[in-house]
Amino acid sequence: MKVILPVVFWCLALLAAPVRAAPAPIHFADLNWESGSLITEILRLVVEKGYDLPTDTLPGTTITLETALAKNDIQVIAEEWAGRSPVWVKAEAAGQVKGLGNLVEGATEGWWVPEYVIKGDPARGLQPLAPDLRSVSDLPRYKDVFRDPEEPGKGRFLNSPIGWTSEVVNGQKLKAYGLTGSYTNFRSGSGAALDAEISSSIKRGQPVLFYYWSPTPLLGRYKLVQLQEPPFDAEAWKTLTQADNPAPRPTRSPPSILSVGVSSAFAQDYPQVATFFAQIKLPIDDLNKALATMSEAHQPPRQAATAFLKAHPDLWRSWVPEPVAAKVAAAL
């Protein structure tokens, strides 16, 4: 009895002790474009392996994900084009979200055509179709070059998928540039569908006019020409981000700043991880190369992120303290 009673009391004490719950996962936005998905997985791997924190991803459009971030329903958008959408601007002004760091120097976005449309390609037997095309203001006279097969009287402009912030901006740009009478606003169902449409046209040597951005494998894979747009005007830009504005004004997009978007609650609860996010720098050439490999080899983003971290240890080790870096290296 002298032996049994202490054991019983010890067992009862264990049962009465509070059970420590596992930490809730950090919710990342499930971004549906290549650079977004790769950067998301790079960040998740470091957070999971280096900081011992669980993560998951939640899908949605850019606008719904920014709304969820403001409510702390998700905590991280790994590639946030900060300051572009009214949802983000409003949430940032209210102190609900933060843009951390400047992920990629040299990022850009705009309207593009293949180089052979302007210069031709003798090696492929392609003649110039729009030799004087330089600016968006030149597009009306070349509408037949970019003929829409469903509306032959107009050209086709390939916009972003519905739900992206850039889709609203590009739709308003068509109005501001006076192109709605000569071009259709064609929206693909996804980023992958947009890529497929552009790549298919280029491989066949067909003319194509489209919105695109960098970092992406596509801009590193093909010879493309970005069309000139009017100089940036901050007040005009506001009219382009408002889908219901009846009189949008012409302007190019502002300089691109890619940040890690986080909820303010997350930044307060996980200051060490927020500091890591603010230190991230991704050289655009290395990133475009990784994206091209991911695309051509049909790698899942997680696999491509692992390969990127293995290939560039000196890069990511500068983002985190040494004990965190050692854990990531061991996991890799």
> Domain with 102 in it: what CATH number?
3.40.190.10
Query: 0.85 exceeded by the pTM?
Result: no
Is residue 158 within 8 A of residue 186, CB to CB? The reply is yes
Residues 164 and 227 in one domain: yes
Q: Among 54-58, 115-119, 285-289, where is mean pLDDT lowest? A: 285-289
Residues 127 and 212 in one domain: yes
Residues 121 and 100 in one domain: no
Write the single-letter amino acid at 276.
Answer: F
Nearest Cα residue to 146 out of 117, 121, 181: 117
β 108-114/209-214 pair status: antiparallel
Residues 128 and 45 in one domain: no
| Structural domains of the chain, count | 2
Residues 229 and 316 in one domain: no
Please state, for a pLDDT cut of 90, what percent of the chain lies above it: 75
Is residue 219 within 8 A of residue 127, CB to CB? The reply is no
pLDDT band (50, 70, 90) for residue 288: confident
pLDDT band (50, 70, 90) for residue 1: very low
CA distance 312 to 163: 34
Residue 25 lies in a domain: yes
Average pLDDT over residues 226-249: 95
Residues 81 and 126 in one domain: no
Residues 115 and 129 in one domain: yes
E strand or H helix that includes residue 115:
helix 115-119
Write the single-letter amino acid at 139.
Answer: L
Residue 214 lies in a domain: yes
| Res 62: pLDDT | 87
pLDDT band (50, 70, 90) for residue 217: confident
Residues 303 and 181 in one domain: no
Task: Read off the pLDDT of residues 4-29 as tens digits, 9 standing for 90 and up.
Answer: 545 544 555 545 555 556 789 999 99
CATH code where residue 139 lies: 3.40.190.100
Residue 5 lies in a domain: no
Residues 153 and 199 in one domain: yes
* Domain boundary, last residue among 215, 240, 265: 240
- Give how far Cα 252 sits from Cα of 149, 187, 227, Å: 28, 20, 10
| Res 114: pLDDT | 98
| Res 20: pLDDT | 54
Average pLDDT over residues 209-218: 89
Residue 131 lies in a domain: yes
More reliable by pLDDT, 3 or 278: 278
Residue 206 lies in a domain: yes
Task: Read off the pLDDT of residues 150-204 as tens digits, 9 standing for 90 and up.
Answer: 999 999 999 999 888 899 999 999 999 999 999 999 998 888 889 899 999 999 9
Residue 10 lies in a domain: no
Average pLDDT over residues 244-272: 94
Q: What range does the domain containing 302 cover?
A: 21-86+95-106+256-331
Residues 40 and 61 in one domain: yes
Is residue 140 within 8 A of residue 150, CB to CB? The reply is no
Average pLDDT over residues 51-60: 96
As a whole number, the mean pLDDT across the chain is 91
pLDDT above 80: residue 106: no
| Res 318: pLDDT | 95
Q: Which residues of 46-63 are buried (b: 16+ CB within 10 A; e: fewer)?
A: bbbbbbebebebeebebb
* Domain boundary, last residue among 240, 273, 296: 240
Residue 296 burial (CB < 10 Å; 0-12/13-18/19+)? Answer: exposed
| Res 190: pLDDT | 83
Average pLDDT over residues 37-44: 97
| Res 18: pLDDT | 53
* Domain boundary, last residue among 240, 270, 305: 240
Residues 260 and 224 in one domain: no
Quick one: tokens of 137? 């203001």
Residues 129 and 30 in one domain: no
Please state, for a pLDDT cut of 70, what percent of the chain lies above it: 94
Average pLDDT over residues 285-289: 87
pLDDT band (50, 70, 90) for residue 208: very high
